[in-house]
Each structure stands twice: as structure tokens, then as C-alpha cells.
Amino acid sequence: MKRILLAAVSLVTLISCLSVARADDGYRLWLKYDLISNPRKLDEYRAAIKAFLVEGNSPTIEAARHELHIGLDGLLGAKIPEVSRLDKNDILIVGTYRHSPLFEGMKVRSKLDRIGPEGFLIFTEKIDGKSATVVTANTDIGVLYGVFRFLRMLQTEQDIRNLDIVSFPRIKLRMLDHWDNLNGTVERGYAGFSIWNWHTLPIYIKPRYIDYARANASIGINGAVLNNVNADPRIMTRHYLVKVAALAEVFRPYGIKVYLCANFDAPILLGDLKTANPLDPKVQDWWKEKVKEIYSYIPDFGGFLVKANSEGQPGPSDYGLTQADGANLLANAIRPYGGIVMWRAFVYTYNAKDRAKQAYEIFKPLDGKFASNVLLQIKNGPLDFQPREPFSPLFGAMPHTNLMMEFQITMEYLGQGTSTVFLAPLFKETLESDTYAKGKGSTVAKVIDGSLDGHTLTGIAGVSNIGADRDWTGNEFGQSSWYAFGRLAWNPNLTSKEIANEWIRMTFSNREDVIKPIERIMLQSREDVVNYMDPLGLNMIFGYNNHYGPGPWVDWSSHPDWNSTYYHRADSVGVGFDRTKTGSDAVSQYNPPLDKEFGSLKRCPDKFLLWFHHVPWKYKMKHGETLWDDICYHYYAGVDSVREMQKIWNSLKGKIDYAEWNSERMYLEIQEHEAVWWRNACVLYFQTFSKMPIPKGLPKPDKTLKYYEGLKFPNAPGTW
């Protein structure tokens, strides 16, 4: 392990040294420990940190020690000595509280009792008359998290005098879900192929695996599901378990447990059984033996994630049983080892009257019937990671079940890898939504952090946007959403602006004339994409299979709910899905007063209008425009906003690294092209139903609808 950690240090040190001499390629993510450019801050930090002392030598403490060497030397531009005893003023002391006599006499015991096993304290202290900055915690991983927090303070040029920081995660399990296949492809992945090279594991440990762990630990992510939810059962064979164990060893010092997606039919596909029925004793015994085998390779294995009875995947309903029956089968097998089961609520049947209602209808009756070590993993919206959806009503309907959020960081429906979209506003919109489950203030965030219903097993997952591209996420701005997910998983109360500000400072510059323009781009970016793709509650009007580009005309699938026309319901009268009491009555799945608010045409927020209502084209909106005109204005505003993003970004030339600037310049050019494509295709298509002119002053599309309907993209990522 020490050899692995030293290899990581050597790599990052080399990268840090070379960064001055070459263009930045995005590999270092937000962990760019470049020399602080503000002379006043540099002098202040050098005066405050003349040396550092690290107590302990566990693999996790070694990781913290190496991070300090890299970070302090790079940021302060000088070799900061590590000392073995307190012999000077202005020192940084790092260590687990219970392990060092240095901490005796510090009155922080009550604070340590509050922060749990992963929290940390950073404070200013006088020890034997000497000035010290202290980073401590109850455990080694808490110390490592504290080290990353302290280095972030230096990176973002914060005041480090008179510190008194108490920090701990609000959510227990903070996960990345990798939809990576064993053949190296990534389902809905837009940053190249998988970062896991199963062929060369377990012997060849890529430095990239270590840097992956460092990056995740720096934002508090503590779990990784390594394989696709459409699971290949071979991941649980000995051939792959030794490889999984090698990754687990790399991740362990950074507080990251590994998890695997399990195929429900594994007893049939791997065990030669004739059934996977959860009630069959032979099936139960098979899972117990398989779990025992997994833990023999990976003693701290986290558990399973399961996609069952969805999109062709096997599951308990194949045997006339409930989803709880299936989840509890695995939960009982893994409970003796302290493992957990994350059971996805993304379950639907074809030909439903309203697919958006099905998860609620399937899982609401099962509240309280899942084992205590099961988390029901629910997508943020009731449908499927759309640019904008109302929150899933399940978050306000299952107080007796451990509920876990599932966000999508990879942008399957938000422009994929070519668009600049900062997802923190989307995450925050969901987390801040009020379920009214126990009256006003019963937010989704309080549901998933356990505080609303008293749950202690809590979780949040993000479908990873990480791939084999050198900059990890394809478009470097994709890193900001990975970063935002981790920061919100640790503390859902952070604002989008706070997170954007941190990331910009760590990635580009601490200069205000850089921060403010990029903040403006980031904080508006998600709304811009909604405007030129799915305004006013439209949804699922994407190209078939690959979900790349517009396809509101798609109506040829044998599964009605795989057709765009199923969702927008455009006709000569109007557009939108009637989910009121006169339609599918999906509004009744929301608690009062939301059911009445969403169900009222006048009171429904404009952003969800066409999600809940079929609205006449000539309906007068709140500001006096007709629905048709308002749709057009949104589509055109989306394009205008992308062009404004281009202008803002171009103004930054010469103020940030040229390679990074030029890369984003090209991506914004692609995005501008795609925004025009979306606008023209959708306006022309919906115009065939409204029969109304495009409002005066807006330029007319220069291509015909037939042209847009005929476009093909056989090489688009995600094409089946």
C-alpha cells in the first residue's frame, strides 16, 4: 500500500512541476496546487504555516501526509518542512484526537462528540505558548477530509486566522454510480470509455485510480458502484472479484468502499439453478454463499445496487412477488457482514396510462416492508433525469422506508458531453422542494438526510460522468457537476453560487474579473438548456435511443412510452400531458397543498405547466402572451443565452490558461449550433399543430421541418 501511495505522490508532484511549463489539460481537476498568485495572501500563509506535524502512520494518515506535502509545497511555492515534534510557532498540526498527547487539554471533546466518524475540526490553538492550526477528528478518514478542507481554504484564498470550523456530513452514504460495462464501454457515458481496465487488473494499478480516489475524498464521496445497473453477472465471479479487490485496496485509505450492481438472475446465470425466486431456499442459500465469497476477497465490501424488473432486467415480479421481497432476499444475505442493498425505484411497465405514476404505484404500498439495511434509491423526478421535472412524489410518501436520492451527473438529457451545464441548480431545485409530508418545511433534503423521519441509514447517489478522457469528464465543465454533487452530498445546505465560486477559484483563478463572468455562465447554464430543449414543463422530446438532439416527432416505438408524442400530446387544441384529475391524476400523488397547486391551471408554476396540463395554444399566460408565443420566446431566449455565454467566455481570453479557454470556446461553438438546431426543429414541429406564426421580431428557421426530421447521428454517444 505504501508503494501505491508513494507512486500517487510522485505522479501528482510531477504534474504540479510540469503545470507551469505546459498547457493545463484538465487532469488535475480542482486539486491544482499551483502557487498562490496573490502576494499578500501568499505572505500571510507562509507566515502562518512554517512547518507541519502529522500524528500517526496508517494508510489514511499517510494519504493525508502526502496531500499536505503536495498541496503546501505547490501552493506556497516552497518546501514546507514536516517536523516530528512541536518546536516552533506557526505550525499546522494534523492527527486523530485520541492518538496524540498533543491534543490533551484542548477543550474540543464536546465538538468531537457531535461530528461522528467522518467529521473534522479545524481550529486555532495555543500549545505551550506556541501558535498552531489544528486539524483533528475522531477517525483517520475525518482527518483526511479535514486536510482537504484546509487545503481548499488556501486554494480559495480564505482567512485562516482564528479558525473554528466544525464540519460533518449530513448524509451517510455518498455514492458515485458508474454505469460501466465489463467490455470497457459506458452506458450513457460521454467522456470516453470506462476508467476501469479489467484486463490489466489486478496487477497493473493505474495512477488514475489513485487520483480518482483522491478527487472523491476531497469532496467527501465515500462509495463507488463499479459496474452498470444493467448488470453483467460475471462481475461476481472469482475472475472479477480479485480485480474488484485490487480497486478496493486502492480506495480504502481514502474512505471509499466499493459496491457492485447485482443481476437478479445470477443464481440461474452463475449458479446453474433453475430459478431466482426469492422464496426458494436454494436461491437464498446461493446468495448467502456468494456474499460470503465476496467478503472473503473484500472484507469491507459495501453492498449491492440492483435494477430489477425495469427495461428487460429480471426481478421478483417475474415470480409474482413484490420489489420488497426481492430486496430483502439480498438484504438478509448481506446483513451479517454489515452490508447494505440499494434497490432502485426506476421500475415501470410498458403501455401505462402515465409512466410517471408507476414508481409511486409500485412502491408506496411497500412502505415499511423493506429490511432495515435496504435503501430505496429514487430518481430525483418521477420520470427519467429530464432537464426539469417536479420531484418524485415518493419522497413525500414513504416515511417508514430508508430513501436515497439518485441524481444523474452524466448529462444524458442535458446536451451530453458537448454542452456546458452546471448541475448544482438542478440538484438544489430538487433538494429544496417541499414535500409537505409533515407540513411546510418537509423538504426533500430533510427526507434523504433522515432528519424528517428519524432514519440513520441515509444515502445519495450520482450517476457518474467520469470516463477515460484525459480531463475525466469530456467537457471540463463537467467536472463542476461532479464537484457540486460531492459538496451537496456532504452539506445539502450549500448554495449553487458558493459551490461555483469554490470550483472556479480552484480550477481557473482567484481573480474577481475571472470569477464573476464564469459564475454568471455557470449559474444560468441549466436554465438556458431547459429553455432551448424543454421549456414550460415539456419533457422526453429527445432523439430516439441516443437521446441526442430533438425528436418531438418520434412515434414509431412499439412501446408507447418510448415515443415523444406520448409525453407532449400536441394536437390542434394545445400541448402538454394532462395529469390533473381530468387526466391521469398524477397530481394526487403529491401531498396537499401541492396537489391543488399543480392541479390548477392558474396556480401551477410555469416551469411545470405542460408537465401537469394540456394547455390550449391561445391560452393567455400570466404575463399576457399566448402559450404559443411564450414557447417560442423560451426557445429563442435559450439560443440567445448560449450566444451570450460565448461572448462572456471570449472576454476571458488571456486571463486563464489558453488550452482550457480554447477547449471551452470550441464546446460553446458546438452548443450554439445544437441550441439553434433544437430551437428550429421544435418550433417548426409544434407550429404544425398550433398553426400560428412565429412572433414578430424573431428570425425564422432557415431549414424545413423535413430537413430536421431527416438528420441522422449514427456515431452519437449512446446510440444503440
Is 156 contained in some domain?
yes
Q: Are residues 454 and 548 in the same domain?
A: no
DSSP code for 710: T
Q: Are residues 204 and 329 in the same domain?
A: yes
Please report the pLDDT score of residue 101 as a whole number. 74
Domain membership of residue 17 as a residue range: 2-167
Is 520 contained in some domain?
no
Q: Are residues 144 and 25 in the same domain?
A: yes
Distance CA(273)–CA(270), nearest Å, equals 8
The C-alpha cell that represents 215 in the structure block:
478527487
Q: Are residues 49 and 102 in the same domain?
A: yes
Is 603 contained in some domain?
no
Residue 719 has pLDDT above 70, yes or no: no
Of 112, 138, 167, the residue at which a domain comes to its end is 167
Cα diameter, the chain: 82
- Which of 92, 226, 90, 79 lies closest to 153 in space, CA to CA? 92
Q: Are residues 557 and 454 in the same domain?
A: no
What are the residue numbers of the active site?
Answer: 311, 384, 412
Look at the chain and report how many structural domains it folds into: 3
Is 96 contained in some domain?
yes
153-188: pLDDT as tens digits: 999 999 999 999 999 999 999 999 999 999 999 999
Of 167, 187, 211, the residue at which a domain comes to its end is 167
Q: Which residue has the cell 505550525?
A: 91
Q: Are residues 128 and 224 in the same domain?
A: no
The three-point CA angle 536-485-133 to 5° equals 140
Q: Are residues 104 and 196 in the same domain?
A: no
Distance CA(669)–CA(297), nearest Å, equals 48
Q: Are residues 492 and 538 in the same domain?
A: no
What pTM does this model have?
0.96
Is 717 contained in some domain?
no
Q: What is the CATH number of the domain that holds 538?
A: 3.90.1330.10
- Which of 659, 686, 676 lies closest to 711 in space, CA to CA? 676
Distance CA(171)–CA(488), nearest Å, equals 9
Q: Are residues 442 and 484 in the same domain?
A: yes
Is 718 contained in some domain?
no
Q: What is the CATH number of the domain that holds 330?
A: 3.20.20.80
Q: What spatial distance separates the first Cα and last Cα of the chain, rounded to whole Å?
A: 41
Phi/psi region, residue 56 (left: phi>0; alpha: psi -120 to 50; beta: rest), is left
Please report the pLDDT score of residue 99 as a whole number. 64
Contact 518, 476 (CB under 8 A): no
Q: Are residues 392 and 416 in the same domain?
A: yes
Non-local (6+) Cβ contacts of 271 within 8 A are 286, 290
Residue-wise over 16-31: b if at least 16 C-beta within 10 A, else e?
beebeeeebbbbbbbb
Of 132, 167, 202, the residue at which a domain comes to its end is 167
73-114: pLDDT as tens digits: 999 999 999 999 888 789 999 999 876 777 777 778 899 999
Give the number of C-alpha atoms closer than 13 A to the C-alpha of residue 635, restricted to the C-beta side.
29
Is 21 contained in some domain?
yes
Q: Model confidence at 327, in pLDDT bands (50, 70, 90)? A: very high
Q: Are residues 192 and 58 in the same domain?
A: no
Q: Are residues 255 and 307 in the same domain?
A: yes
- In angstroms, what CA-CA distances link 613 with 386, 555, 610? 17, 21, 5
Please report the pLDDT score of residue 23 as a whole number. 73
Is 525 contained in some domain?
no
